[in-house]
């Protein structure tokens, strides 16, 4: 998420500035604007919007065909993350337009700030829910509690995220846009502003990243034991998010390779927030982050929709549908090739000599026209 727009570039004012009415003015010179990087951001956000829409539509179609998929936490969480990414990317495209942002009133600035913050924290909360699911099913084998709480992952994440970030609508003595730095600015005392921003948003994102980091490591290490155990493991690795139905059985080498693949794919879920949000949090620890950090903090969060799309496509629950689609595409291509060959043969026979001619002449003529 473009959190850097929210506060990474000193949403709180720089120390040493002259106080104005009990507060400090916004910083005059920071890292500058995105410039040509805004064009890159537009492209990445458009890609994320399109791919997020594909994820949502695909889930709707598949659920209509197979209602049991709605019980799969990984499918629901990926689809919900896609919705968050769409909302955020749309807002971020407005933020990249410096001229447009300068025209917004304080109320509209606060609303956009809240929506972007809520979408970002929702994304982290949803990813954390996937981490909790892995913690309960893979690491602690407590599938009972996982089954009890997993139906409430999405609703809880959305409500809690927009609830904890709603103070953006009223905190600070004023909210404004700084064109020279292309960031939001909340006018308030330095220490109070920093405390509020961390309590409202950054504390939650930081905690989620740390939690997901350890979940990713321990999940990978835990499931990697399967690589070294030739005797037994879970019989349904494609249901790693619903291990309560798994049974133990002997594994073939092919089965072990499949579980390795599933292990890597499942571990990808908690990795995305680590990739997209870490530099964002680091930047918010600095009073004046460098330009390269400002750019990365804008660009990396824009990739969330794209990364979520790839993880969604690798979801073990969709293996059957993915293989079916690949088979159909290959079958369609094969039919087209066969049809083209038949047409080529038919076209070539128009110019063939009379059947009364020797077969050797017939073959030679046919070969010539086949390659035309």
Q: How far apart are CA 272 and CA 305, in angstroms?
A: 10
Please give the pLDDT value at position 30: 57
Record the tokens describing residue 113, joined without a space: 């700030």
Considering the chain, what is the average pLDDT of its residues?
A: 77
Q: How far apart are CA 183 and CA 20, in angstroms?
A: 20
Q: Please check whether residue 116 is in contact with residue 5, taking contact to mean a CB–CB distance below 8 angstroms.
A: yes
Record the tokens describing residue 257, joined without a space: 């390779």
Please give the pLDDT value at position 337: 57
Q: How far apart are CA 12 and CA 197, in angstroms?
A: 9
Those residues whose C-beta lies under 8 Å from the C-beta of residue 100, and which sit 6 or more positions away, are 94
**pTM to 2 decimals?**
0.76
CATH of span 3-314: 1.20.1070.10
Q: How far apart are CA 323 and CA 320, in angstroms?
A: 5
Poorest-pLDDT segment among 22-26, 111-115, 157-161, 323-327: 22-26
Ranges of beta strands (E only) in 237-280 are 248-249
Record the tokens describing residue 339, joined without a space: 């049809």
Q: Please check whether residue 14 is in contact with residue 27, taking contact to mean a CB–CB distance below 8 angstroms.
A: yes
pLDDT digits (tens, 9 = 90+) for 166-209: 999 999 889 999 888 888 888 888 888 888 999 999 999 999 99
């Amino acid at each position: 998420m473009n959190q850097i727009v929210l506060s990474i570039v000193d949403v709180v004012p720089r120390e040493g500035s002259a106080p104005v009415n009990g507060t400090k003015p916004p910083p005059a010179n920071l890292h500058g604007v995105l410039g040509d990087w805004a064009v890159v951001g537009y492209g990445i956000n458009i890609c994320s919007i399109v791919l997020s829409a594909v994820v949502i539509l695909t889930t709707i179609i598949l659920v209509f065909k197979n209602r049991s998929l709605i019980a799969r936490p990984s499918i629901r969480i990926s689809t919900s993350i896609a919705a968050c990414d769409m909302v955020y990317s749309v807002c971020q495209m407005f933020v990249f337009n410096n001229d447009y942002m300068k025209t917004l009133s304080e109320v509209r600035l606060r609303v956009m700030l809240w929506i972007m913050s809520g979408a970002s924290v929702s994304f982290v909360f949803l990813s954390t829910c996937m981490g909790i699911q892995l913690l309960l099913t893979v690491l602690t084998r407590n599938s009972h509690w996982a089954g009890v709480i997993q139906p409430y992952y999405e609703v809880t994440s959305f409500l809690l995220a927009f609830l904890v970030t709603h103070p953006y609508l009223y905190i600070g003595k004023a909210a404004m846009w700084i064109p020279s730095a292309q960031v939001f600015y909340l006018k308030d005392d330095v220490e109070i502003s920093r405390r509020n921003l961390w309590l409202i948003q950054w504390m939650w994102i930081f905690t989620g990243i740390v939690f997901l980091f350890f979940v990713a490591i321990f999940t990978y290490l835990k499931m990697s034991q399967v690589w070294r155990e030739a005797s037994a493991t879970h019989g349904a690795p494609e249901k790693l998010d619903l291990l309560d139905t798994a049974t133990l059985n002997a594994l073939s080498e092919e089965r072990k390779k499949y579980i390795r693949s599933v292990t890597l794919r499942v571990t990808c879920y908690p990795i995305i927030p680590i990739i997209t949000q870490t530099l964002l949090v680091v930047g918010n620890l600095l009073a004046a982050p460098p330009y390269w950090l400002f750019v990365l903090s804008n660009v990396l969060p824009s990739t969330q929709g794209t990364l979520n799309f790839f993880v969604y496509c690798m979801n073990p629950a969709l293996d059957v549908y993915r293989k079916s689609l690949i088979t159909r595409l290959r079958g369609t291509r094969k039919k087209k090739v066969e049809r083209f060959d038949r047409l080529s043969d038919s076209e070539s026979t128009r110019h063939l000599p009379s059947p009364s001619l020797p077969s050797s002449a017939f073959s030679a003529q046919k070969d010539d026209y086949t390659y035309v």
